[in-house]
Amino acid sequence: MLQCIEALEQDPNTDTVLVVSKPPDDDVLGSIIGRLVEFTRKPYVTCFVGAKDYALPSDVTRRLRQVKTLHAAVGEIMRITNHNEQLARFGVSKDELWALAAKAADGLTGKQKYVRGLYTGGTLAYETLVILQPLIPDVYSNVSLDPKFKLPVASRSTGDSIIDLGDQEFTRGRAHPMIDPTIRKIRLADEAKDPEVAVIIMDFVLGYGSNKDPVGVMLGAIKDAVETTRRDGRKLPIFAHVCGTEEDPQKLSEQTKMLHDAGVETFQTNALMALAGAVASRKGMLDSDIVDDVWKRMIGQ
């Protein structure tokens, strides 16, 4: 990372730099921030997802900015580079997101109360845990933020659960789920059978390192999951975020359209999807002050 920072600092075609990672160890963080403070002059935004704020000298706080989520990082970069029109299209208002989540929750049974995340992207799963932590006290995961909420058995969800299906316990001896979705298909079928599941959230990661049709290979499993709950007298809202662009070989618009046609609600960012999943699973019954704080700190709009 230090080498990349040095290279981008010297690159005449780079104006602003975004530094992204999961929270680094303290000594690593010190090395990175020290380099940014002492040896750079360009604007930088750091996103050590969910990490505690670090101290900065007052004379660099306008040039070096820190955020806690990928969503907030992109928003900050857009503001710095004066892409205000793109920023307006990039987000939604809190009221709009709340209304969308409430609509999805309409018709859920009294037993349906949990959000389940089935992720192929580890950093996206981690970001979701960071967003949900202040909203939902006990969120379980195979990559949990708090050891006491680590799933005893990763193949079986408990309460609210966010699963990183790309973690090594799921990838030993098989292709990563970004390439081979079999493990997620199985897990989606299992979650659909649980009468306490209120909403499923999933990511779809595009690019040359992913399946040639990430959404297409999951459509059958999505249809089967919805049918399973319908036969049981329930509905199953499914939320999705497609991480990619029109330049990717799978093409963002085509992948998103397939999800829409299948009745899946899509979100421009993972952070928005995670927050909507929390609201829908609680049928809107969340502490408004906490929601406001999460929106301010993690959505940053």
Asked if 9 and 158 sit in the same domain, the reply is: no
Instruction: Name the strand (E) or helix (H) holding 277.
Output: helix 270-281
In the sheet with 114-119, reading across from the earlier edge strand, the strands are: 139-141, 160-164, 114-119, 197-205, 238-243, 265-267
Q: Count of domains in the chain?
A: 2
Asked if 72 and 200 sit in the same domain, the reply is: no
Domain end among 39, 64, 88: 88
Residue pLDDT, tens place only, 179-210:
999 999 999 999 999 999 999 999 999 999 99
pTM comes to 0.93
Beta strands in 7-109 (DSSP E): 17-21, 44-48, 64-67
Domain assignment of residue 116, given as a range: 97-299
Domain end among 88, 117, 145: 88
pLDDT at residue 17, as a whole number: 97
Residue 301: pLDDT band by 50, 70, 90 thresholds? Answer: low
Of 55, 72, 75, which Cα lies nearest the Cα of 64?
55
Residue pLDDT, tens place only, 221-270:
999 999 999 999 999 999 999 999 999 999 999 999 999 999 999 999 99
Asked if 122 and 227 sit in the same domain, the reply is: yes
Q: What is d(CA 123, CA 223) in angstroms, rounded to the nearest whole number? A: 27
Residue pLDDT, tens place only, 55-106:
999 999 999 999 999 999 999 999 999 888 878 777 788 899 999 999 999 9
What are the backbone dihedrals phi and psi of residue 237, each rounded to the nearest 5 degrees, phi first? Answer: -65, 135
pLDDT at residue 137, as a whole number: 85
Domain end among 47, 67, 88: 88
CB 143 within 8 A of CB 164: yes
Asked if 143 and 123 sit in the same domain, the reply is: yes
